[in-house]
Amino acid sequence: MKSEVLATVPEEIRLRRNKSLIFLVLFILLIFFFILDIVLGSVSIRPADIFRAFFERTDSEIETIIFKFRLPKALTALAAGIALSLSGLQMQTLFRNPMAGPYVLGVSSGASLGVALVILGFSAQFVPGSFPRLGNWVLVVSAWLGAGAVMMLIMFLSSKIRDIMTILIIGIMLASGISAIVSIMQYFSNETMLKAYVIWTMGSLGNLSAGQLQVLLLTVAAGMILSLASVKMLNALLLGENYAVSIGLNLRLSRIVIFTCTSILAGSVTAFCGPIGFIGIAVPHITRNLFRTSDHRILVPGTIIAGGVVMLISDIISQLPGSVNILPVNSVTSLIGIPVVLWIILRNKRDTGSF
């Protein structure tokens, strides 16, 4: 018995070292792709010029490109990747559904509806950037409320319906229904409001003002803190709600915390960057397979880093380095995420005989 215990100790140490190595590699990749995202673009900039711009301010054209365009866009990609990945991880655990994600289950559409109600339903004065302080917060809070409303509806339906595919179909139907509502609002909107909303829908990672980026970074930081604080709740929910209650977890409080966190993360990104698909589904599964664990003490920080890496790669691909053309980032994330979703479906069908 004593020899068996001693034999497991080196194995635990080896696994811990492997996880530490994976974290280190992911962090290095994060730094590498962040710098690469700043280096690559329609104008070629050498890495040496970038470092010189940070330490020797000369007000040159290169500094303008870096600090006005590329650095804000890289920070936006980093924040969006972290937010969408964390919200997807929390939704998959909360709903116990491997296909859960803010885009697929209609949470991003709910956030879009919140934005549409502000821009189309009230006044075009609330367009992001119109009021550097108030306008941005009105927009992002409306996105939170829309995302939270859809989250609560999906949670209620998932408590009544246990089939994963049915919940997925309901999420797609909700997204379609919300799109129909927005289309009706567009039809009855005046020209100024319609133009304001169309400009918002064209939003991407590179269109944020300094004020919008500040709000995005603050809200994503708040969501990250809530995510780290909810690790124990997520681990308990992973084993089932009945078990979670039996060990003393306050189920209602846990749902409120996770709902709030997910709504803040998904809503903030949607408010300023538009709906970005499949990152929320794909990255949590990529992280689980990298670390070979379901422990959220590892998954949450792992998802934060992996989400940033994947979104930075997507941004680099979308801007077609060396070209003035820029692809919609949503198209790139879909190409990355769809194979992961197909792999999830096939794996579940192989393991259970049905999805």
Whether the pLDDT of residue 128 is over 50: the answer is no
Q: What percentage of residues in the chain have a pLDDT greater than 90?
A: 25
Give the range among 8-17, 51-60, 276-285 with minimum mean pLDDT: 8-17
Q: Rounded to whole angstroms, how far apart are CA atoms 30 and 35?
A: 9
pLDDT band (50, 70, 90) for residue 5: very low
Residue with the two structure tokens 């209602």: 252
In degrees and rounded to multiples of 5, residue 4 shows phi and psi of -65, -40
What are the distances in angstroms from CA 192 to CA 126, 127, 179, 260, 298?
12, 11, 20, 33, 48
Contacts of 14-19 with C-beta under 8 Å, sequence gap 24+, read 19/291, 19/293, 19/298
Tokens matching residue 257: 């915390």
For residue 169, pLDDT over 70 is answered with yes
Band of residue 224 on the pLDDT scale cut at 50, 70, 90: very high
Query: Mean pLDDT throughout 324-339?
Result: 80
Task: State the pLDDT at residue 350.
Answer: 63
Domain residues for the domain of 239 are: 2-352
Amino acid, single-letter form, for residue 284: P
Ranking 24-28, 70-74, 155-159 by mean pLDDT, the lowest is 155-159
**What pLDDT, on the 0 to 100 scale, is given for residue 299?**
95
Q: How far apart are CA 112 and CA 147, in angstroms?
A: 8
Per-residue pLDDT tens over the stretch 33-84: 999 998 887 777 777 777 777 777 666 788 888 888 889 999 999 999 999 9
Exposed e or buried b per residue across 63-99, where buried means at least 16 C-beta atoms within 10 angstroms of its C-beta:
bebbeeebbbbbbbbbbbbbbbbbbbbbbbbbbebbb
Degrees, nearest 5: CA angle 123-129-135:
50
> What does the pLDDT read at residue 354?
42
As for how many domains the chain has, the answer is 1
Q: Among 291, 137, 149, which Cα is nearest to 222's?
A: 137
Domain with residue 169: its CATH number is: 1.10.3470.10
- Which has the minimum average pLDDT: 213-217, 235-239, 320-324, 336-340? 320-324
Distances (CA, A) of 15 to 18, 19, 22, 75, 304: 5, 6, 11, 32, 21
Residue with tokens 């909810």: 230
Can you point out the beta strands (E) in the chain?
A: none
Cα distances (angstroms) measured from residue 329 to each of 93, 317, 319: 27, 8, 8
Q: For 14, list phi and psi in degrees, rounded to 5.
A: -65, -45
> Could you tell me where the DSSP H helices lie in 40-70?
47-55, 61-65
For the ranges 182-191, 225-234, 319-328, the lowest mean pLDDT is seen at 319-328
Tokens representing residue 61 in the block? 């054209």
